[in-house]
Structure 1
């Protein structure tokens, strides 16, 4: 678990970037 905890710390940043990018694209399409 200790090893996974160290590597998992990096995933939230990547997920946030991907999710925020998708949300931005969907938001732009919704505001058209």
Structure 2
């Protein structure tokens, strides 16, 4: 039986005081992956 494991990292930064919305395209340019 083969054991599998996953190593992941998530970084999150929030600026709730910004009046400007962030479009999803900004995340895609930074290298967002979906899965």
TM-score range, shorter chain: under 0.3
Relative to the length of structure 1, the TM-score reads 0.26
Relative to the length of structure 2, the TM-score reads 0.24
Greater CA radius of gyration, 1 or 2? 2
